[in-house]
């Protein structure tokens, strides 16, 4: 089986991770034009240095139009990196080639911005992970230590689920200044102190998130018959409600708006999937909201608190007007290949790793196995919310795990099931084994 993944890796994305696309550079002529135009404006204002406005103008010119730049899904951190590369061609004194040591920051920003990991983004993250593995930045070294991420084993997943949430926690709860101080720290002890503060904030964020989610679930049950959920309450931190909306979507398989009531105004976030656009639903409510916007799958909205019932009705009416069919089916994983358990070895995992970095737009390959028998079940977690299943097929076994598993994943031994999962190598106490992460499970009736 692994041959198909070796072949697939040669065409993953539209650019090899080993070199930049041929058209990925901003031309020096374009840079000079932007600098010249901005310099003229600055001269009128008597500003001698390269101002923020000049930088922003160049960044916007580089990435806002396909006529100027061929890859439009590049995130802000990628634009900043391309700006550094471009400035090297026109400003004296900037060392050529040293910009590659910025790629650890570029990789972190790219993954956490959840842009597609294809084309130039894929290249930036691919090489950025290699730089991160040997980074000299005290802040990133401290953050990896606190998050229990081994530098030599750092991956896109480590960034998205380990470093990123800790970096974001300060902005969600207090101020992003903590994260900035971490990235600019020059002293290892100071960096570790800040990293521990961020870790504590992330734990506090999780605790607050769990409390909001519990209350939101109770409220969501009242509107369970509606195709779109709109829940709200005072004191629901609007820096966290987007995560709660995603959790509710996962639980109820419905587009979800979660709002914090702040006196006369309410503010919150939406998460959607499939063919229903959260941004379009907000636009359809333009006359009863204060402001709002976003894109298909994530959006934000502010409205008068008194208008929440009308907003709930409006977005549900909009959903029904779309005449959407079988939307929950779109959330089910689609396998890349069927596999027997005897095929799950380290050679297969190594072949799949050639497709890394995995993420939005370049997901980890999904396998499907049918007629496998559950031979052991073990509940895990403080509230038994996770489950570990040992599966067997024709004498071959594999351990699989599901985090925050739905009730039907807790299958009793002896049941025959069909499973969708990803695989990786788990190393514990010097022992290596292939392990699966369960994405979906169906019992064979």
Kindly report the CATH number assigned to the domain that includes residue 367.
2.40.50.460
Joined together, the tokens standing for residue 359 give 């993420």
The set of residues, in sequence order, having a beta carbon less than 8 Å from that of 51 and lying 6+ positions away, is 38, 42
Q: Does a structural domain hold residue 4?
A: no
**Residue that is last in its domain, among 298, 326, 354:** 326
- Count the helices and strands in the chain (H runs, E runs): 15, 11
Q: Domain check: are 417 and 372 in the same one?
A: yes
Tell me the per-residue pLDDT of 134-188, one tens digit each, with 9 for 90 and over.
999 999 999 999 999 999 999 999 999 999 999 999 999 999 999 999 999 999 9
Q: What pLDDT is stored for residue 431 in this prediction?
A: 86
Residue 434 token pair: 């292939």
Task: Please tell me whether residues 341 and 421 are part of one structural domain.
Answer: yes
The confidence score (pLDDT) of residue 45 equals: 38
Residues 241, 312 within the same domain: yes
pLDDT at 3: 56
Measured between its terminal Cα atoms, the distance across the chain in Å is 29
Q: Are residues 287 and 370 in the same domain?
A: no
Low-confidence spans in the chain with pLDDT less than 50: 6-58, 62-63
Q: Which of 326, 346, 372 is the last residue of a domain?
A: 326
342 and 434 housed in the same domain? yes
Question: Domain check: are 322 and 413 in the same one?
Answer: no
State the pTM of this model: 0.79
For residues 51 and 308, what is the distance between their CA atoms, to the nearest angstrom?
43
344 and 420 in a common domain: yes
User: Is residue 437 assigned to a domain?
Assistant: yes
Q: What is the pLDDT of residue 178?
A: 96
Give me the domain span that covers residue 280: 224-326
Looking at the fold, whether 246 and 290 belong to one and the same domain comes out as yes
- On whether both 250 and 303 belong to a single domain, the answer is yes
Tokens representing 18 are: 């080993």
- Alpha carbons 128 and 133: distance in angstroms, whole number: 9
- Residue 43 in any domain: the answer is no
**42 is a domain residue:** no
Kindly state whether residue 426 falls inside one of the protein's structural domains. Answer: yes
C-alpha separations of 322 from 35, 284, 287, 340, 443 in Å:
47, 12, 20, 41, 33
pLDDT at 243: 95
pLDDT, tens digit (0-9, with 9 covering 90-100), for 356-376: 999 989 999 999 999 999 999
Q: What's 241's domain CATH number?
A: 3.10.310.30
Instruction: Give residue 256's pLDDT.
Output: 98
Could you give the C-alpha distances from 262 to 220, 234, 258, 268, 303, in angstroms and in order?
A: 20, 6, 13, 10, 10
Question: CB neighbours (10 Å) of residue 318?
Answer: 19
Distances (CA, A) of 162 to 150, 285, 296: 11, 37, 26
Do 341 and 279 reside in the same domain of the chain? no
Residue 312 belongs to some domain of the structure: yes
Query: Could you please report the per-residue DSSP string of 354-375?
Result: TTPSPBTTBPPP-EEEEEEEEE
Number of domains in the chain: 2
What per-residue confidence (pLDDT) applies to 52? 40
256 in a structural domain: yes
pLDDT of residue 38: 38
- Boundary residue ending a domain (277, 294, 326): 326
Rounded distance, CA 172 to CA 198, Å?
Answer: 11
In-domain check, residue 167:
no
**pLDDT in the model for residue 362:** 94
What's residue 326's pLDDT?
86
Asked if residue 292 and residue 348 are part of one domain, the reply reads no
Look at the block and give the residue holding tokens 């960034």: 159
- Say yes or no: 346 and 311 in one domain: no
Per-state percent for the chain, helix, strand, coil, to nearest 5: 45, 20, 35
357 cis-preceded (ω within 30 degrees of 0): yes
Residues contacting residue 67 through CB under 8 Å, at least 6 positions apart: none
């Amino acid at each position: 089986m692994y041959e198909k993944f070796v072949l697939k890796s040669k065409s993953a994305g539209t650019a090899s991770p080993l070199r930049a696309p041929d058209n990925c550079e901003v031309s020096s002529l374009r840079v000079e034009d932007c600098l010249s135009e901005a310099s003229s404006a600055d001269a009128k204002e008597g500003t001698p240095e390269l101002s923020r406005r000049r930088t922003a103008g160049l960044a916007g010119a580089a990435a806002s139009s396909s006529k100027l730049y061929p890859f439009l899904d590049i995130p802000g951190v990628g634009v900043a990196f391309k700006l550094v590369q471009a400035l090297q061609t026109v400003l004296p004194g900037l060392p050529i080639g040293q910009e590659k040591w910025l790629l650890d920051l570029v990789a972190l920003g790219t993954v956490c911005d959840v842009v597609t990991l294809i084309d130039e983004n894929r290249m930036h993250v691919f090489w950025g992970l290699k730089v991160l593995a040997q980074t000299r930045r005290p802040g990133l070294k401290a953050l990896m230590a606190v998050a229990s991420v081994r530098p030599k084993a750092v991956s896109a997943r480590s960034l998205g689920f380990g470093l990123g949430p800790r970096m974001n926690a300060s902005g969600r709860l207090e101020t992003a200044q903590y994260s900035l101080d971490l990235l600019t720290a020059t002293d290892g002890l100071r960096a570790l102190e800040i990293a521990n503060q961020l870790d504590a904030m992330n734990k506090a964020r999780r605790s607050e998130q769990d409390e909001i989610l519990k209350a939101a679930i109770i409220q969501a049950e009242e509107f369970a018959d509606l195709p779109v959920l709109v829940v709200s309450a005072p004191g629901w931190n609007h820096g966290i409600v987007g995560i709660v909306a995603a959790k509710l979507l996962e639980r109820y398989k419905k587009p979800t708006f979660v709002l914090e009531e702040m006196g006369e105004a309410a503010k919150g976030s939406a998460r959607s999937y499939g063919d229903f656009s959260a941004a379009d639903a907000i636009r359809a409510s333009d006359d009863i909201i204060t402001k709002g916007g976003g894109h298909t799958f994530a959006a934000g909205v502010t409205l008068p608190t008194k208008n929440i019932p009308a907003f709930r009705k409006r977005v549900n009416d909009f959903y029904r007007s779309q005449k959407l069919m079988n939307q929950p089916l779109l959330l089910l994983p689609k396998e890349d290949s069927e596999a027997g358990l005897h095929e799950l070895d380290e050679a297969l995992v190594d072949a799949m790793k050639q497709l890394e970095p995995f993420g939005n737009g370049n997901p980890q390959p999904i396998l499907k196995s049918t007629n496998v028998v559950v031979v052991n079940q073990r509940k895990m977690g403080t509230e038994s919310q996770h489950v570990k299943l040992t599966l067997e097929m024709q004498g071959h076994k594999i351990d699989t795990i599901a985090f925050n598993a739905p009730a039907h994943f807790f299958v009793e031994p002896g049941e025959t099931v069909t499973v969708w999962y990803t695989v990786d190598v788990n190393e514990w106490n010097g022992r290596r084994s292939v392990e699966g992460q369960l994405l979906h499970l169906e019992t064979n009736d």
